[in-house]
Structures are given as structure tokens and as C-alpha cells.
Amino acid sequence: MKNKKTILVTGAAGFIGASLINRLLDDGNYVIGVDNINDYYDIKLKNARLSFILEKNPNSESNWKFYKESIDDYESMISIFKDHKPEIVVNLAAQAGVRYSIDNPFEYVKSNLIGFCNILECCRKLEVSNFIYASSSSVYGSNKKLPFQEKDVVDHQVSFYGATKKSNEVLAHSYSSLYKIPSTGLRFFTVYGPYGRPDMAPMIFAKSILNEEPINLFNKGDMVRDFTFIDDITEGIFRCCFKKAYSSQDFNLFDNNLSDSSAPHRIFNIGNNNPIKLNYFVSLLEKYFDKKANINLKPMQLGDVKNTCADSSLLNEWIGFKPSITIEEGTNKFVNWYLKFYGK
């Protein structure tokens, strides 16, 4: 077995965080998890993810340590960093959700800005050798050119959530430039699958179908999303953990390629590059649940974007991986998990 790495993952009880931790433990690494387990959504689901980590890795006592702490608490974070001296840090902790950010912007400032800065400072002081962080397709804002590419201008945000994620990219780049911290930002595209977030469409739609409640499809159903299965997202992050960003010798500021930099900093899309209409996704849920949905067509919501589509070719070149799980396969796996987990 290759040398075991000490890896700190924030957002450990989150959808993506818990999945990544399972992958890292399976690979034999020592993992420190941090999560404040807030009540933005069902705490039972977050605890279930943590329980599943132990269930999937029954011999992980010596390889896995969890802290219930908030990344916006600098003293707690620096103490954890000093105690464990992680070689690799993956920051997935964030206040998520486009619509929630409209009414609760200060929650995003606290976690996505102050908390993110705390993690950067801890990485600097402990001289972390590789930093991976979560960005989002939301940074593309009002961009209408498809597919979305890393070289696209992302200065026209339409949600406060997207603005905080763009800020993360700028802040991380500055630390990479100033302190030579190898950093990789990953722009996630509509992640779905088992243990998914209850505030996202797959979980909302599944619950509504089984409870015979109406499903609201915004923009009168004419919405397109680049759904990416959780296992594909996890594998992409995992591989980035073991490949450090480095300065591009060919960087040219006027080429406008934001994935490259004179600093050891990279940005990549991670998505299926196979966008589908929400109507089709609902039809797959109907098929696998064997139950019809009651659909309400609604106007466009504030902060939403009509289409998302990822060009993930740069990530493929970087780590030799691209998402491959089809929407049909992924939805079937999600439905099977949902029925087992919720017992319906």
C-alpha cells in the first residue's frame, strides 16, 4: 500500500463530504472530519451519513477522527490543524442553496467567506501541501454560452450563493500566489444520488411523488440541468487530492484561461456534459418509483438559471477521469436507496 496521507475534510457530514471520506478511508488514509451539523436541513440525515462511514469502514477507529465544530470558529480550526498536521485539506463545508441565500445572506458570509478564510489561514500556518475546495456551477451566473467552460467570464452573478463561491476562487488564488499553496477549485454541477441533500430537486421530487404531493417545476418546466452522480464527483475530488496544482509556464493573462495561472492554482468543472430537462428527470423518477407525479408549472424563480452544462475536458486532461454514470443508471440507484432509507 502507498504511504498513508493525513487528510482533513470539512463538511464531513455533508452529502459530498461523507462520500469522499468513505473513498479516502477505503484507500487507507487517515481522515479528520469537521462539521458543525447545523439544522439547515434534517440533522438525522447528516448523522446517518456519519454512521454509514463507520458501517462501511468498521475498522476505521485508528484512521478516522470527527470534530463537531464550525469552520467560522478560527480558534477551533487552528487547534485541530495543529493537533493533526494534515498534508491535504479538502474544504467542502459551506452554506449551500441558491434560494436560501436570498433571505439569509449573513449565513453565507459566516461560512462561505469567514469560514473559508479561516481554512486558508490554517493551511498557510501549517504549510499544507495540497488544498482542494468546492466551488459551484452557480459562479457562471447569467452566462448563456453552453457548455460552460473555465475560460468563460464569471463576473455576472445572479445569486448571493454564486457570488460567495466566486469569492472563494479569488481568495484561494491570492493565497496560492502569496504563499505558494497548491490549490484546486472544483465547480460542481447538480450533484445527486444516495444520501443527497433534501433541499435539492431529486429529494424534493422523490418525497412529493411518494406522498402524492405536487411538484413545482419552475420556468414552466423549461429548466435544464447537468446532473452529476455522487460517485463521479467523489472520484474526481479523490484524484485531485493526489495531484497538486502547479504554476503554468505557458500562462498568458490575455488568453483568459482561468483554469491556468502563474500561481499554483487550478479551477475545473466537474459535470456530466450531458444536460437533461427536469421534465425528463421527473419521468425517470415516475418510472423507477412506479408512481405518477402531480406537476405544477411555475414561473422562473429569483436567482435561478435556466440551463447548466459542464465542459469537463480540462479535468479529464488533468486527472484522467470524467463522469460516466448515466442519468438513467444514477436515478435508479438513487430511487433504490430512497426506498430503503425512508421505507416507502
Residue 19 has pLDDT above 50, yes or no: yes
Q: What is the mean pLDDT of residues 85-106?
A: 92
Nearest-10 crossing angle of helices 327-342, 201-210: 60
Return d(Cα 28, Cα 47) in angstroms, integer. Answer: 23
Are 196 and 284 in contact by the 8 Å Cβ rule? The answer is no
Q: For the CA atoms of the chain, what is the radius of gyration?
A: 19
Q: Which residue's entry shows cell 485508528? A: 62
Q: Which of 6-15, 208-217, 221-230 tops mean pLDDT?
A: 6-15
Q: What is the mean pLDDT of residues 23-27?
A: 95
Percent of the chain with pLDDT over 90: 77
Q: Which residue's entry shows cell 503554468? A: 248
State the first-to-last Cα distance of the chain, in angstroms, to the nearest integer: 42
Residue type, 170: V
Residue 86 has pLDDT above 80, yes or no: yes
Residue 259 CA neighbour count, 13 Å, CB half? 18
Residue 46 has pLDDT above 70, yes or no: yes
pLDDT value for 180 = 96
Domain range list for the chain: 6-188+229-271+309-324
Q: What is the mean pLDDT of residues 319-332?
A: 96
The cell numbers describing 181, all together, are 499553496
pLDDT value for 261 = 87
Q: Which residue's entry shows cell 471520506? A: 21
Residue 203 has pLDDT above 50, yes or no: yes
For the stretch 148-202, pLDDT in tens is 999 998 988 889 999 999 999 999 999 999 999 999 999 999 999 999 999 999 9
pLDDT value for 1 = 45
Beta-carbon count within 10 A of 321 CB: 16
Task: List all residues 6 or more positions away from 68 whose beta carbon is below 8 Å from its beta carbon.
Answer: 35, 36, 37
Mean pLDDT of the chain: 92
Residue 223 has pLDDT above 90, yes or no: no
Catalytic residues: 161
pLDDT value for 311 = 94
Q: What is the mean pLDDT of residues 45-68?
A: 91
Question: With helix as H, strand as E and coil as C, how does the chain read?
Answer: CCCCCEEEEECCCCHHHHHHHHHHHHCCCEEEEECCCCCCCCHHHHHHHHHHHHHHCCCCCCCEEEECCCCCCHHHHHHHHHHHCCCEEEECCCCCCCCHHHHCHHHHHHHHHHHHHHHHHHHHHCCCCEEEEEEEHHHHCCCCCCCECCCCCCCCCCCHHHHHHHHHHHHHHHHHHHHCCCEEEEEECCEECCCCCCCCHHHHHHHHHHCCCEEEEHHHHCCEECCEEHHHHHHHHHHHHCCCCCCCCCCCHHHCCCCCCCCCEEEEEECCCCCEEHHHHHHHHHHHHCCCCEEEECCCCCCCCCECCECCHHHHHHHCCCCCCCHHHHHHHHHHHHHHHHCC
Q: What is the mean pLDDT of residues 37-57?
A: 93
- Name the more confident of 259 and 330: 330
Per-residue pLDDT band for 344 (boundaries 50, 70, 90) equals low
CATH code for residues 6-188+229-271+309-324: 3.40.50.720
Return d(Cα 30, Cα 45) in angstroms, integer. Answer: 24
Residue 58 has pLDDT above 90, yes or no: no
Residue 126 has pLDDT above 60, yes or no: yes
Per-residue pLDDT band for 336 (boundaries 50, 70, 90) equals very high
- Name the more confident of 342 and 222: 342
- Name the more confident of 290 and 61: 290
Per-residue pLDDT band for 143 (boundaries 50, 70, 90) equals confident
pTM of the model: 0.94
The cell numbers describing 303, all together, are 436567482
